[in-house]
Amino acid sequence: MSLKILVYVGRSGKDCALGLLEDYLMTDATCIFCKIIRGEIPSKTIYQDDDCIIIEDLHPIAKYHYLLIPKQHYPTIGQMNDEEAEMLMRSIRRIPELSELLHLENGYRLVINQGEDAGQTVLHLHIHILAGQPLDFKC
């Protein structure tokens, strides 16, 4: 971590170093989605902004299956703070704006698995976006 910060200081100054440290502390070193956000694991990125990234799911269960992943690391809804909740809501509101890009014109389903009984396998909150076909496996 310190090496990364030193490189950043050399390139762009103190403010950027603090920014990088802040970014690093918001992520989790061992989390798969944090690694994807940091570019350490490849993914098919469809969209990203300051708050979130939208990628294709590695194992799709619908014709179009994306994951909307907040850039800040928190495992569940219960563990996010007010600022993170606002960011998540901003990201959710992006989804219909990206309708054409994500092929959502005919409808879509959002799913958030929370905890063991729901089968959450990655403990970094994410929203599944399912589309492109009738989703006849109804909640």
Q: Which residues bind Zn ion (CB under 5 A)?
A: 28, 31, 33-34, 73, 124
Tell me if 41 contacts ligand 5GP by CB under 6 A. yes
Task: Give yes or no for residue 58 binding ligand 5GP (CB under 6 A).
Answer: yes
- Cβ-contact 71, 26 below 8 angstroms: yes
Q: Which of 23, 32, 10 is nearest to 124 (CA)?
A: 32
How far apart are the C-alpha atoms of 118 and 74, rounded to whole Å? 17
Is 103 considered catalytic here? no
Residue 66 in 3-state DSSP?
A: strand
The stretches of 1-139 forming alpha helices (DSSP H) are 2-12, 14-26, 32-37, 82-97, 99-102
Contact residue for ligand 5GP among 21, 32, 98, 135 (CB under 6 A): 32
> Which does residue 113 bind out of ligand 5GP, Zn ion, none, counting CB within 5 to 8 angstroms by kind?
ligand 5GP
- State yes or no: residue 68 binds ligand 5GP (CB under 6 A): no
Query: Least distance in Å: CB of 73 to ligand 5GP?
Result: 14
Could you give the CA distance from residue 132 to residue 139 in angstroms, rounded to a whole number? Answer: 17
For position 46 contacting ligand 5GP by CB under 6 A, the verdict is no
The rounded distance, in Å, linking the Cα atoms of 101 and 111 is: 19
Piece of the chain touching ligand 5GP by CB under 6 A; list 11-19, 71-79, 100-108, 113-121: 113-121
Terminal C-alpha separation, the chain: 43
Q: To the nearest whole angstrom, how small is the minimum distance from the Cβ of residue 43 to ligand 5GP?
A: 5
Which residues of this protein are in contact with ligand 5GP, per CB under 6 A?
32, 41, 43, 55-59, 67, 113, 119-122
Residues labelled as active-site residues: 126
